[in-house]
Chains A and B, each alone.
Chain A
């Protein structure tokens, strides 16, 4: 985004000689912070993300128990990976969680956010209560719900159909969706609340004069005005949910059986339980590829590259 803006300004600067403006000639429009400002972030990213990533790709061609020296084994891990039906299963579970998580969290967060954007006092109080889950640690949330879902001594014991919720595949998936939704919807609600408050009142006033109903206002003003926020929130949601790990480890432990194994969880099990760090690295590399592919797809189909202000023309 910054680069795009910079290029546009640059073009503008190129045209300035025709119509010189004294203030700009004193200080060039292209004056931006030196690229050295990027150094701390670049170093941090390089050391904690790029370097381990390269290392993981290297490890995926080795056999390593986590101690001693890794032994190069060529493409053995990759051959095994492509013949491993389990990997397909865990990718499927991961994508299912991503899609269902997005499909449940987005509408709820959007509606709550728009509702919370109202200026009424009760809404301010309620939305600060809704916001609370965001302040809790993921591990604490997962452990708390794990206890609540106990079929004999948890809250689930009081609700017949939910008693064995962690004991069935679909139930456990639903439980993960519920818990992650409970945890992350407040954050996205906050994004939508801020965005909804930025929608110019004049649009609603005009609609009101034309006799638009509340639903029509929502459908034709609020939703289109929130388009960019939907894209931002969805990207965070999707990329984030690809790497859910603590919730699964502590809530379902991948179970029942292997029903809620996701790619990061499988990677952990292979690495830290089975000590197959080479194979775990191959799975990690797959995760990188899948995550990158998914975010590229979002960029491609959301029109993110052409994203314009929703206030254009006003």
Chain B
């Protein structure tokens, strides 16, 4: 008997790590926080973000005070949340209510019939439905049905800028693409990075084509892509947007080391807060982060405005992109479906919940917020976000959430190559067409 089989045995053990990684999804039985058929308790899965969970707790305390069913928050860190949720949804230990991003983040659950269709409940309670901004509520629709109730503030992508840096140069934040390019040249010549960018994570780069394609070609261009129409990526607006991005990169619009900056290290946000970068195109969460991490800057110099107009573009300059909001969805298999719906109906538009969000720096997606804006720490920011969304003809969901799940990663990979200067517009279109 030779020792050979033992060696290959060891090889298999090594490979078993990989196999085990996949295996967990197949036989994952992590019961913690799952509903497990307990009808007295209702699990509500959220992210592990204390600033946000204050608001959720306000809603839950109010609900628990008058209901037989006790709701419990189960929080998981942002990095692991989606993996954990997906594993749980594939098992029988599903959360009763869970936090999600709408679109691609729940599409497969909706198709597998794991979620409660909330449309009839919303039509039966028009005052509940009318409490939310329609564009945001509708952005959570899948195949014409409502599966999610807005559960956080709205998160459009905003052009943040450092007011002190602009004042030093004696210029105003750009309102057109031409102004943007001349500002870029000016900052670069004076040794300031025009745009902070955490290019180590491709989703931070996605905000650029999202806005440019919309400004150049209007919302139809991406709608066709999201719907999976043949040749949709080949629309000239896509190529033009990528060419403009390449031009911006070549001008030094992001400095020369952005590819090494990771989002998690908050490097990009610190650059603009310290005045080493002038602008940052990012979601509204950037505002909240700065308030927490760089309170001095957030108070004094943090400026915010809408994405510039692209001359000769067909899109409406008031159109916005980003994450309309986050949603709470309800598992169909939950023993507490009625209590869960009651919780969402009674609490998600309640005054206490909205005030808690305003206090945290978020702008909830409810109508008639004007009356309550003064409760916020920074009414100017709340007004900007609210008006942006209320006036927007369309609110495009982030592309990586909007496309089919298996096309998101190839799209992000291709975009990362564009930002590394390794792929041109034609290459980007082709990479996406190949993946579609």
| Interface residues, chain A, with chain B CB atoms under 8 Å away | 1, 3-4, 7, 45, 48-53, 55-56, 59, 65-68, 146-147, 149-154, 156, 163-168, 235, 239-240, 242-243, 245, 252-253, 255-258, 263-264, 267-277, 280-281, 284, 287-288, 291-292, 294-296, 298-299, 304-305
Contact with A along B257-301 (1 / 0, CB 8 A): 111111011010011000010000000000000000000000000
The answer to whether B416 touches A287, judged by C-beta atoms less than 8 angstroms apart, is no
Mark B residues whose CB is within 8 Å of A: 1-4, 6-8, 10-23, 25-27, 82-83, 86-87, 89-90, 108-109, 112, 114, 199-202, 256-262, 264-265, 267, 270-271, 276, 405-406, 408-409, 413, 416-417, 420, 422
A-B contact pairs, 25 of them (CB 8 A): A4-B2, A4-B3, A49-B16, A53-B12, A55-B26, A66-B90, A67-B90, A67-B112, A151-B260, A152-B261, A163-B257, A167-B259, A242-B15, A253-B262, A258-B413, A258-B416, A264-B18, A267-B22, A271-B22, A272-B86, A287-B18, A292-B12, A292-B15, A296-B7, A305-B2
Q: Please determine whether B3 and A304 come into contact, CB atoms closer than 8 angstroms.
A: yes
B200 and A253 form a contact (CB under 8 A): yes
Distance from A14 Cβ to chain B, minimum over Cβ atoms (Å): 16
Knowing A153-B265, A256-B416, A257-B413 are in contact, say whether A55-B11 is a contact too (CB < 8 A).
no
| CB-based contact B265/A163 at 8 Å | no
Q: A153-B267, A163-B260 are in contact. Are A291 and B22 (CB under 8 A)?
A: no
Min Cβ gap B373→A in Å is: 35
Q: Which residues of B contact A305 (CB under 8 A)?
A: 2-4
Which residues in A have their C-beta under 8 angstroms from that of B267? 150-153
Q: Knowing A149-B260, A287-B18 are in contact, say whether A68-B112 is a contact too (CB < 8 A).
A: yes
A270–B256 alpha-carbon span in the complex (Å): 30
Determine chain B's interface SS by DSSP, over half rule: helix
On chain B, the residues within 8 Å of A164 by CB distance are 256-257, 259-260
Q: Which B residues are CB-close (under 8 A) to A277?
A: 22, 25
Cβ–Cβ < 8 Å partners of B15 in chain A: 53, 242-243, 284, 287-288, 291-292
Given A153-B267, A167-B257, A272-B86: A291 and B416 interface contact (C-beta under 8 Å):
no
Question: Would A49 and B2 count as touching, CB distance under 8 A?
Answer: no
- Determine the chain B residues whose CB is within 8 A of the CB of A149 once the complex forms: 260
A66 to B20 Cα, complex, angstroms: 15
Complex CA distance for A153 and B420, rounded to whole angstroms: 21
A67 to B406, Cβ gap below 8 A? no
- State how many angstroms separate the Cβ of B239 from the closest Cβ of chain A: 20
Q: How far is the CA of A153 from the CA of B416 in the complex (A)?
A: 22
Given contacts A152-B276, A257-B422, contact A264 B21 (CB under 8 A): yes
A243 surroundings in chain B (CB, below 8 A): 14-15, 17-18
Q: Quick one: given A1-B3, A3-B1, A284-B22, are A48 and B405 in contact (CB under 8 Å)?
A: no
Closest to B413 in A: A258
Does B23 contact A52, Cβ atoms closer than 8 Å? yes
User: Using Cβ atoms and an 8 Å threshold, which residues of chain A touch B270?
Assistant: 152-153
Given known pairs A56-B19, A273-B409, the reply for A292 and B260 (CB within 8 Å) is no
Among B1, B8, B86, B408, which residue has its beta carbon within 8 angstroms of that of A67?
B86
Instruction: Tell me which residues across on chain A come within 8 A of B12, comparing CB atoms.
Output: 49-50, 53, 288, 291-292
* Bound Cα distance A59, B114 (Å): 22
Task: State in angstroms the CA–CA spacing of A154 and B17 once bound together.
Answer: 32
Residues of A within 8 A of B406 (CB): 274-276
Q: Is the CB of B16 within 8 A of A152?
A: no
**A166 surroundings in chain B (CB, below 8 A):** 200, 259-260, 262
